[in-house]
Amino acid sequence: MFLKAKAIGAFPLGQAPAGRNWVILEIDMNPSQTLSQGQIAYFLVVAVAFAAALIVLGLYLGARLGKRSGRLEAERGLPDRLALERGDAVRRSRAVLGGLAAEQLAPYLPGFPFDPTELRFIGKPVDFLAFVGASKGKIEEVAFVEVKSGGAALSPIERSLRDAVKSGRVRWVEYRSP
């Protein structure tokens, strides 16, 4: 299809909008060059497919650039964050190791309220069971002992055990194996 254009008029230089020369064109189309409905449909399908491909390409490139930008932004603060996290991990590890050492040594430190020979290490959920009087041949009391160091608080399970003992929800069970 070929289109011919011919000039049929123009604004004079002084009257053209915004000081430009304007030319009015008339399109002269040969009737034998008209498009059939099939050709028009084909061109529409091609145009829609091309537009869809451009949209998909734009979305893909946007996602790639966004991902890269996010990665670069995350990596920008990585060295400082790693240093802080490593320092925190070392501090926590030292606190845990110090607590474990204090837990094992506590019965031998001055001021510990029980005879170390009457203690049995349990570990979880409580550190020791103290069988008060066992060294004299008669148990007068059984005490649950939890050793804490620094500003450590009781865990939820340790609190629930403390509450059970304080409210008297403790019992004796004798099990005989078959």
Q: Which of the two residues, 2 and 91, has the higher pLDDT score?
A: 91
Predicted confidence at residue 1, as pLDDT, reads 42
Q: How far apart are the first and last CA of the chain?
A: 102
Domain boundaries, the chain: 4-33, 40-76, 96-166
Within 10 A of 99 (CB to CB), how many other CB atoms are there? 15
pLDDT value at 131 more than 50: yes
Is the pLDDT score of 112 beyond 60?
A: yes
Average pLDDT over residues 129-154: 90
Give residue 139's pLDDT.
93
Query: What pLDDT score was predicted for residue 5?
Result: 46
Q: What is the pLDDT, as a whole number, of residue 70? A: 79
pTM: 0.50
Nearest to 22 by CA among 32, 31, 12: 12
- β-strand partners of 6: 26
